[in-house]
Structure 1
Amino acid sequence: MTDARRPVAAAVAGAVAAERLRIVAALIRVTGDFDLAEDCLQDAIERALQRWPADGVPENPGAWLTTTARRRALDVLRRRQTERTKLREAQALAELARDATADEPGPYADDRLKLLFTCCHPALPMAGRVALTLKSVAGLSTRQIARAFLVSEATMGQRLLRTKNKIEHAGIGFRVPEPHRLAARVDAVLAVVYLIFTEGYATVHDDLAAEAIQLSGLLTQLLPDDDEVLGLHALLLLQHARRPARTDAAGELITLEDQDRDRWDGAAIEAGLTTLAAARATGRPPGYYRLQAEIAALHTTAAGPGETDWPRIVIAYDALLALRPSPSIALNRAVAVGFRDGPAAGLAAVEAIGADHPLLPAVRADLLRRAGRRQEAAAAYRDAVAAARTEPERRLLERRLSEVSDPAGDT
């Protein structure tokens, strides 16, 4: 790339980063075609890279891209209309021609929110919701999404195609649901964003986790008074703040108690705590995401492992179990009980769960290690290694196994 083209490329990249979601969402709203929206934006980007070096960067690059993408969509739909007339396409033609905006007042008129709700409709399978949200809202390529979820690009492409077909055939509208259905649909959106983050966090896939944080931040802009939206955003910020200390220079995982807290992201912690305070200020009883944010806040504000307020964390997990019982929450509670009351109490809590969970062998092994029951811990670590999801996790468990396999035996 020549030096003269670098400022143009930077201007295009900046405009796309700022406006991509808004442009794509608007095009999907009026055309009902996810692929057409992406193609028209890509065409506008290519035209910008061709024309701006000669014409100069426009005063409002985002508006230029929007207009060019809309014109491209208009041309495509006109050609389609000559081949076969469709009511939806005719309506889209009229709306594109007059550059229509949504009728709803307030933040619900925002096409970005409508796109999120469309991608996360409860009628769609969860895997499809996640894939379509990452493709259409976050702007990830099919290859990137496939790599993140450890499937082939072809498999992910078929998943996306089935999801788009479901939207069309089921008549899922591009809109924010009616007020009396909003709560349930917000829950569906939050569940998708949370799943994207947890997948990225568990697999040390930082860009996937970052996309989830951006999505949750978008939701706080569009639904600023929803305490669970605020709670989720706070939770993700506080969790991700520990990212710089989660691995060493070699990429090996470091457990929370062994992390260098000076490496935690102070700005992210401050933003998370501020968002959590806004959630508390709503005066509503804490929900699923806010309770988890409260737990994350207790971890990130503790001066060290020994100063962590484990009694309050156990209380928060008790509230979570009452709200939404699950083996995962019960397992996390057992860990907290182990730190509050000792490893024997933690082991008793694990045994009381009575359900299988992929992380159960690792939790049980760690509690046995803390209790000094080394031989039993070694056996549990072997089970945990076999159940590990990722290579970094497996290596961490193998290191623990090596520690407890010392010939000294049980103490």
Structure 2
Amino acid sequence: MSKKLSVLAVIALSLMLGMSNACAEKAAKPAEEADTYELLNLFGEVMERAKTSYVEEVDDKKLIESAINGMLVSLDPHSSYLDAQSYKYMNEQTKGKFGGLGIEVTMENGVVKIVSPIDDTPAAKAGLKPGDYITNIDGEQVIGMSLNDAVDKMRGKVGSKVKLTIRRVGEKPFEVTLKREEVKIQSVKNDIKSGDVAYIRITSFSGDTDKMVEKAIKQAKKELKGNIKGVVLDVRNNPGGLLDQAVNISDLFLDKGEIVSTRSRNEEDTVRYTAKEGDITDGLPIVVMINDGSASASEILAGALQDHKRAIILGEKSFGKGSVQTVVPLGKYGAMRLTTARYYTPSGRSIQATGIIPDVEVHPAKVEEYINNYGLSEAEYRNALKNEATGEDKKTENNTKDEDWRKDYQLSRAVDLVKALGIYTQGK
């Protein structure tokens, strides 16, 4: 084996060894160290044989990068090597602006699985759903690709098209052609529902999402002159994002206590995040909406408010991504993403692979208006007994008339629940 290749092989795997030693903060035992260097030599021998004997010419850089990525991916689906281009894309995404289809994906059993489509992106407009599997990209099978390779194939020049083969549980495989767009994530959308409920849709936890949520609450208070019945926080199909944003947003609604903790394999590395005094809603009822596309930071928010009994969680069980990834820059070569800890809710629950179980389970449903063409009310009978007035009648305004949001069954249930909680707490 050439000296150059041997050095490259040692450098490649030393990256992982250095990280492992830094995390453990212990020197390897002499016997284990000897075994490790034997394996490094084995890697060099295999690489040399591939370089000299493979049917076609191979690229040293590609071989080493693939080996590093394979090593990291073998640990768990969220650890990986990011080449310079992938690292650039990742940084753009956390800033809320990037090019592509607008889907958060993971790898499951060798196939790309959609965690969630992002609102107002090509993927969402095409009707792709959490749990869909992408089996082919432009006719090429995904099995055998790394997650990074699959993602790279879905990215491309803005305006160009890509054809995906989708496998959805209970349906026959189908193809969908998407046009790539420059994806600009509007991480917060807000509105007033049913006249007096503040609705806040959080699509991702990026950049200054916390400030946008705070602004949305203040805007609702001003618009309704303080007459808010409660708040609905919608994190359905929200794949997550930055930890600090999840912590800051949770803190807006908590007066005290732990928000989340991260625990690595070394107990002394445990980090606990706690709430500062002050609840921006002054104790108003809150409902958090989740589904199987709610992951990571979304689950931190839901778990914190659920454990502190600060909110009712409504919807479906969340995705279950409760692990922490640390991104380590590697200079001009990109970065490595390594799972270094797990998230735990304030009560000590691990989110990993179990997700957040809603307090009120509500599945999506098609809502159609019921029209009663024949029924009569008591007042419509010709000889109906008249009401005996006992005072000034309270006029009830029909705030739900012609509101399209009522077609979203889960949201409709959430708004009704907030209003009911508001009435209940006011009567106490």
Give the alignment's TM-score, normalised by structure 1. Answer: 0.27
Higher-helix-fraction structure: 1
Q: Kindly indicate which of the two structures has a greater share of residues assigned to strand.
A: 2
Larger RCO (CA under 8 A, 6+ residues apart):
2
